[in-house]
């Protein structure tokens, strides 16, 4: 039986998935002899680069301000501030990302069958077993390669795009492309991506003026197996835990299922009854249904409509149920969706 506090925590986890689709910083703009690659060709190379090995330093800068909700402190820091990371990537299931701060680091390791975290300040290793269908975004999701591929896939091949002048990024002559979504309901007006023209490995991503992720230093060589293998010691703590079953927690509070469409946008099939994604492309938005008292306690501090740059959050209370709507969309779209809620 899922405890009440666990339910509340994972409802907010579900709501936070809206910001997974998520930013500009000064960088050398000299073309540096970058290969001229047509935008559609570069897009295909980027989408095919998931197996490319690399290691280096990444800096992200964001101006997305999330509502003051429980369990979102780490995510708020990633999307609304400057984050420095060291990454070693041997493959989709063999990588390590270290989030650096003035007093230490917090590492995430991905292996074939589990995820491990290392907290330097607490001297603690944690093994997370399982691969949940729903989870909060983590630092690795905001590295240029993962972020670029996700945005390009979400936008689709039909979005208007053009080539950008080349840039030298982390010592590499990168080719660029710009997506210019024509959908009036999304608040993302442009997505700029620069990538290694040969391998398609993304080196920098700008999502309008809201978020930026770029390599400061990069080696296109595979990291050694020892670097991406979690190694505890007799002097550090170690715990093993199953990754929280967010789907079960959310479904346990779903009184009725959400509608099949809102604001003329079809619901995207998913495993959770109490949370749903609607629409396509970059104008997708998420809706979370929260039971009356639980919604009142959890979302009491959130104004009816909160807009921070590209992110819009709306809290609707049409009956005894509370709904949280969020996405990189206009307030008008969420208003139309609110009107269709039961």
Residue 61 confidence class, pLDDT cut points 50, 70, 90: very high
d(CA 232, CA 33): 45
Q: Express as a percent the part of the chain with pLDDT over 90.
A: 49
The mean-pLDDT minimum among 108-122, 167-181, 294-308 falls in 294-308
292 versus 234: the higher-pLDDT residue is 234
Please identify, in words, the CATH class of the domain defined by 22-242: mainly beta
Residue 321 confidence class, pLDDT cut points 50, 70, 90: confident
Residue 104 CB partners (closer than 8 Å, separation 6+): 120, 121
Residue 33: per-residue pLDDT? 60
Output the average pLDDT for the chain.
Answer: 81
d(CA 135, CA 118): 19
Q: Do domains 22-242 and 246-339 have the same CATH topology?
A: no
Instruction: Check the CA dihedral 199-46-39-142 and report its sign.
Output: negative
Question: What phi-psi label fits residue 281: left (phi over 0), alpha (psi between -120 and 50 degrees) or beta?
Answer: left
Residue 1: per-residue pLDDT? 43
pTM for this predicted structure: 0.81
pLDDT at 84 over 50: yes
295 versus 55: the higher-pLDDT residue is 55
Nearest to 56, CA basis, from 220, 295, 180: 220
Buried b (16+ CB within 10 A) or exposed e, 151-161: bbebbeeebeb
Residue 219: per-residue pLDDT? 97
pLDDT at 307 over 80: no
Q: Could you tell me if 286 and 274 are in contact, meaning their C-beta atoms sit under 8 angstroms apart?
A: no
Helices then strands, counting H and E runs in the chain, come out as: 7, 19
Question: H-helix or E-strand containing 336?
Answer: helix 331-339
305 versus 109: the higher-pLDDT residue is 109
Cα 183–187–193 angle (5° rounding)?
85
328 versus 121: the higher-pLDDT residue is 328
CATH topology of domain 246-339: Phosphorylase Kinase; domain 1 (3.30.200)
Question: Domains of the chain: which residue ranges?
Answer: 22-242, 246-339
pLDDT at 45 over 50: yes
Question: What phi-psi label fits residue 264: left (phi over 0), alpha (psi between -120 and 50 degrees) or beta?
Answer: left
pLDDT at 22 over 50: no
pLDDT at 60 over 60: yes
3-state helix, strand, coil in the chain (%, to 5): 20, 35, 40
Residue 79: per-residue pLDDT? 80
Residue 59 confidence class, pLDDT cut points 50, 70, 90: very high
Residue 24: per-residue pLDDT? 34
Residue 132: per-residue pLDDT? 63
Q: Over range 275-292, report the average pLDDT.
A: 85
pLDDT at 68 over 60: no
The mean-pLDDT minimum among 3-7, 264-268, 315-319 falls in 3-7
Q: How far is CA 249 from CA 218, 230, 275, in A?
A: 40, 30, 11
DSSP character for 15? H
């Amino acid at each position: 039986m899922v405890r009440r506090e666990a339910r509340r925590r994972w409802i907010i986890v579900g709501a936070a998935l809206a910001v997974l689709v998520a930013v500009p910083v000064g960088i050398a703009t000299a073309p540096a002899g970058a290969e001229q690659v047509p935008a559609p060709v570069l897009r295909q190379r980027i989408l095919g680069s998931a197996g490319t090995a690399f290691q280096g330093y990444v800096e992200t800068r964001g101006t997305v301000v999330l509502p003051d909700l429980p369990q979102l402190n780490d995510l708020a820091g990633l999307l609304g501030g400057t984050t420095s990371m060291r990454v070693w990537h041997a493959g989709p299931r063999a990588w390590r990302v270290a989030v650096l701060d003035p007093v230490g680091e917090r590492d995430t390791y991905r292996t074939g069958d589990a995820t491990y975290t290392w907290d330097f300040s607490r001297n603690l290793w944690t093994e997370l077993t399982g691969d949940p269908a729903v989870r909060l975004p983590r630092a690795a999701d905001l590295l240029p390669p993962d972020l670029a591929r996700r945005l390009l896939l979400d936008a689709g091949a039909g979005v208007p795009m053009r080539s950008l002048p080349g840039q030298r990024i982390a010592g590499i002559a990168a080719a660029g492309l710009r997506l210019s979504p024509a959908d009036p309901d999304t608040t993302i007006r442009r997505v700029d991506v620069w990538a290694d023209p040969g391998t398609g490995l993304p080196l920098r991503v700008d999502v309008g003026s809201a978020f930026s992720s770029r390599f400061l230093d990069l080696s296109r060589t595979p990291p050694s197996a020892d670097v991406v293998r979690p190694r505890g010691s007799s002097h550090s703590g170690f715990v093993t835990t199953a990754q929280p079953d967010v789907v079960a927690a959310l479904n346990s509070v779903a009184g009725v299922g959400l509608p099949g469409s809102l604001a003329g946008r079809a619901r995207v099939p998913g495993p959770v009854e109490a949370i749903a994604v609607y629409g396509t492309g970059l104008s997708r938005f998420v809706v979370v249904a929260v039971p009356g008292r639980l919604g009142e306690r959890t979302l009491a501090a959130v104004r009816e409509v909160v807009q921070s740059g590209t992110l819009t959050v709306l809290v609707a209370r049409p009956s005894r149920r509370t709904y949280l709507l969020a996405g990189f969309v206009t307030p008008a779209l969420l208003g139309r969706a609110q009107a269709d809620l039961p």
